[in-house]
Amino acid sequence: MADQTFRLPDLGEGLTEAQLVAWRVEEGARVEINAPLCDVETAKAVVVIPSPYAGTIHKLHARPGESVAVGAPLVTIAAQETPTTVEPEDPAPRTLVGYGPGAPEAGVRRRARVAPVATGEPGADVRAAPFVRQLAKEKGVDLARVTGTGPGGRITKADVEAATSAPAATSAPAATPATPATNGERRISVVGIRKAIARQMVRSVSTIPQFTEFAIFDASALMAAREKQKAGGRSLTPLPYFIQAMVKAVRAYPLMNSSWDESRDEIVVKQPINVGIAVNTSQGLLVPVLRGADQLDLHEIADRGAKLIEGARAGTLGPGEMSGGTITVTNVGASGPVETGTPIISPPECCVVAFGAIKPRPMVVDGQVVARPGAWISISVDHRIVDGALATEFLTALVAELEKVSA
| pLDDT tens, position by position, 229-277 | 999 999 999 999 999 999 999 999 999 999 999 889 999 999 999 999 9
Q: Which residues contact 353 (CB under 8 A, 6 or more apart)?
A: 242, 246, 327, 328, 329, 330, 343, 377, 378, 379, 398
Instruction: Choose, from 58, 61, 299, 383, the residue flagged as catalytic.
Output: 383
Q: What integer pLDDT is reported at residue 165 of this predicted model?
A: 61
Flag whether pLDDT at 135 surpasses 60: yes
Give the residue-averaged pLDDT of 42-62. 86
Furthest CA-CA distance within the chain? 86
Q: What integer pLDDT is reported at residue 98 of this predicted model?
A: 42
Q: What integer pLDDT is reported at residue 153 of this predicted model?
A: 64
| CA distance to 17, 131, 162, 283, 323, per residue, from 141 (Å) | 30, 13, 10, 22, 37
Q: What integer pLDDT is reported at residue 143 of this predicted model?
A: 80
Q: Predicted confidence band at 136 (pLDDT cuts at 50, 70, 90)?
A: confident
Q: What integer pLDDT is reported at residue 282 of this predicted model?
A: 79
Q: Predicted confidence band at 389 (pLDDT cuts at 50, 70, 90)?
A: very high
| pLDDT tens, position by position, 169-222 | 333 333 334 444 447 788 776 666 677 778 888 889 989 999 999 999 999 999
Flag whether pLDDT at 101 surpasses 80: no
Flag whether pLDDT at 407 surpasses 80: no
Flag whether pLDDT at 130 surpasses 80: no
At the fourth CATH level, which superfamily is domain 193-403? Chloramphenicol acetyltransferase-like domain (3.30.559.10)
Q: What integer pLDDT is reported at residue 7 of this predicted model?
A: 92
Average pLDDT over all residues of the chain: 81
DSSP 254: G
Q: Which among 132, 8, 115, 9 is positioned nearest to 62, based on CA atoms? A: 8
Q: Do the Cβ atoms of 159 and 147 come closer than 8 Å?
A: yes
Q: What integer pLDDT is reported at residue 110 of this predicted model?
A: 38
Domain 130-183 carries which CATH code?
4.10.320.10
Flag whether pLDDT at 74 surpasses 80: yes
Flag whether pLDDT at 312 surpasses 70: yes
Q: What integer pLDDT is reported at residue 47 of this predicted model?
A: 80
Look up 383 and say whether it is catalytic: yes
Q: Which CATH number fits domain 1-114: 2.40.50.100, 3.90.25.10, 3.30.530.20, 1.10.274.30?
A: 2.40.50.100
Locate the domains of the chain by residue range.
Answer: 1-114, 130-183, 193-403
| pLDDT tens, position by position, 140-169 | 888 877 777 665 566 777 677 777 765 433
Q: What integer pLDDT is reported at residue 176 of this predicted model?
A: 38
Flag whether pLDDT at 113 surpasses 50: no
Weakest-pLDDT range from 79-83, 95-99, 170-174, 360-364: 170-174
Give the residue-averaged pLDDT of 81-103. 42
Calpha distance 351→67 (Å, rounded): 32
Give the residue-averaged pLDDT of 4-26. 84
Burial class of residue 50 (count of CB atoms within 10 Å of its CB; 0-12, 13-18, 19+)? buried
Sheet holding 2-7, edge to edge: 2-7, 73-79, 55-60, 30-31
Flag whether pLDDT at 95 surpasses 50: no
* pLDDT, greater one: 233 or 320: 233
**Percentage of the chain surpassing pLDDT 90?**
49
